[in-house]
Each structure stands twice: as structure tokens, then as C-alpha cells.
Structure 1
Amino acid sequence: MYTFRQALEEDFTAIAALPQNEQEAYYMFPRGTWPLKPEELYRASLERELAIVMERQGELAGYCSMYDVAEGESAWLGNVIVSPAARASGASAELLGHMMKQGREAFRLKELHLVCHSTNARAMLFYRRMGFLPYEVGKTDDWQGNRIARVLMKRNLTE
């Protein structure tokens, strides 16, 4: 149903168009500016060990990256987003499942970490269903300068 591949520079125009508003863009790429700039996302992807595009029937269905990989130990997931057309169809679970598999197989990871913002309750509940557990809460500012919680979550990959 879905296929996965390394993102190419030419993919980032479509990836930058996935967030439907400034809030979604912030959740996907907090250090970015709205509207997201393809070249900014592409430059960030070059700092990542993995930058994965998910496609369905040749169309972009999602994007996710993996960074700060400590082989045999842990890594971080970032820039998680699914296209509006693929939402509520299991695409998010497919994308995260693929990234967890890549972490185990390519890097022998024991755990994956991610950051979720307190105002993104839908994502927080989704990550919990996928086995991620919160382990630290800190403060950050959202795209409008409002103080929100930055929730660090992790998932054991050895179970």
C-alpha cells in the first residue's frame, strides 16, 4: 500500500506544502518559518541520518526524519507529517512503523525519542497508542509566543 524511500531535494516543495496552517507547520518543524520554505526543510534534512518520504500510488503521503542517532542505543524522530488526503487512514501508523523498523534494522536502536507539544493532543494520543511514553516535560514557546509544554516521549524498540 505505502512505499518508502529517501527524500530527494525535489521532494521538498511538496513536503513544505503538507502543513495546512501555521500551527501544523510549527508542530512539524518548530524552527521553521511560515509558510515553510522547501530549501529550509531540505537543508535541515541534510543534517538528519534519515529523511524518509512515504508514497501511495506515486503520491506523497508523508514525511519523517531521524536524527542524533547513537548506533546501538537511541535516536530522535522529527518532522513527522502526513498529507491531509492520507490522514485518518492508518498512514501515520505506517510511517512510524517504518521508522521504528529502520531504527531497529539499520541502527540496532534500543529506543526512539520524539518531542510532542502539549497543544497537539491528537498527536500525543497517537504517539501513546504507538507505544511512546512521556518521560520529561519542559517549557517552550509556540509559533505565537505562547508558553506551552514540550513533552519528550520515548519508545523501547527491544520489546
Structure 2
Amino acid sequence: MLLSHRPVAEKDIQLICGFPKSDDELFFFFPKASFPLAASQLQDAIAQRSDSTVVELDGEVVAFANFYRWEAGGSCSIGNVIVSPRARGRGVGRYLVEQMTQLAFSKHLATEVRVSCFNQNLAGLLLYPKLGFQPYAIEERQNRKGERLALIHMRLRRSATEPCRPASQ
């Protein structure tokens, strides 16, 4: 199993749009989008965000994420995190979040990386703490059916021993 990552390309958009298999999955990935996800919705999000990244598994795109907030020397917030259903449970999400975290610390010189996860997203709730993310706030939200949800905000602070240097391009 060979994992690699790169910036998103136009050719990836339609494939990524097929990753969420239900309205609930799409809500976790992209709460403002409507199901099924249209290429134009994803393209608009990419245009407004930074560092949209895909993960390839043996040469095939299987995951996507970006930053919806990025502040040089401040914090970067990871959003639009999704893994293809066929690649779930294989370490792809871990790899993706690790790469985005490294990008935040090296390129943006962030002091912390943030991620938010809905209480019903069990995979995310189990993954993020394993990567060192700690909850710091809970916000009440509603899903598209009007049901109450908790959005759990987590952060990972740059370790004092981690070097602070720009990424080489």
C-alpha cells in the first residue's frame, strides 16, 4: 500500500464528489453543500480555501482536505476532510491529517492546527485524539433535519521541540 499526497487537480473534482454516499456523510464533510455534491459546489469551496490536498493510494485519489482558515504564525483549521468509502479503515485518514498538520506547521508556521468533528462522526472522533488533538470547545449545531448535534472543536499545538521553519517547495 503506497500513500502519497499532492495538490488537488481539476481532474480530481468529479471523483471526490462521489465520495460522500449519503446526505449525512456529506454533512460531516461539507455541511453547507447539498446532496449529491455537485462539482461546482466543491470548486467554489476550493477557490475560497487554502492548500486543497488529495491523497493517492497506489496512484488512485482516495481522500481530500483543505484549510478553511489559515493564519501565518497563528492557527490553521482543517476542513472538508473525506476518505473514499473503499479506502476507509486503511490509515488513509491518519495520513491525510498528518500531512495537513505538517503543512500547517511548515508552510504557514502555525502555532496550532484545529479540526472540528460532529458527535455522530465516530471515525473522526476516534482518529483525531490518536493524532494528539485535544477537545477545547463544543458548539451546538443542527443537521439538515433540525436535529441537535454537537460540533467538537479540537486542536493540536506545535510541540516546543518541533522546529519552526518554512517548507521547501
For the aligned pair, the TM-score class normalised by the smaller chain equals over 0.9
C-alpha deviation, 1:56, in angstroms? 1.7
User: Equivalent residues in 2 for 1:85-96 (5 A)?
Assistant: 85-96=86-97
State the SS of the aligned residue for 1:107. Answer: coil
Does 2:154 correspond to 1:153? yes
| Corresponding residue number in structure 2 for 1:7 | 8
Match of 1:18, SS?
coil
Amino acid at match of 1:135: Y
Aligned residue for 1:84? 85
2:17 counterpart letter in structure 1: A
What does residue 22 of structure 1 align with? 23
The alpha carbon displacement at 1:84 in A equals 1.4
Partner of 1:111: 112
Bigger Rg, structure 1 or 2: 2
Partner of 2:34: 33
> Secondary structure, in 3 states, of the residue corresponding to 1:66?
strand
- Equivalent pair of 1:100/1:157 in contact (CA under 8 Å): no
Aligned partner letter, 1:109: A
Residue aligned with 1:30, SS: coil
Calculate percent identity across the aligned residue pairs.
28
Aligned counterpart, 2:128: 127
Q: What is the CA RMSD across the aligned residues, in angstroms?
A: 1.2
Matched, 1:55 2:60: no
Q: Provide the secondary structure at the position in 2 that maps to 1:95.
A: helix
Deviation at 1:120, TM superposition (A): 1.4
- Alpha-carbon displacement from aligned partner over 1:52-106 (angstroms, at most 9, x marks no partner): 0111222111000112111011110001011112111111111111111111111
Counterpart secondary structure, 1:46: helix
Runs of 4 or more, structure 1, over 2 Å off, are none
**Which runs of 5 or more residues in structure 2 are unaligned?**
161-169
Question: How far, CA to CA, are the matches of 1:121 and 1:91 in structure 2?
Answer: 16
Matched length: 159
Q: Retained in 2: the 8 A contact 1:50–1:67?
A: no
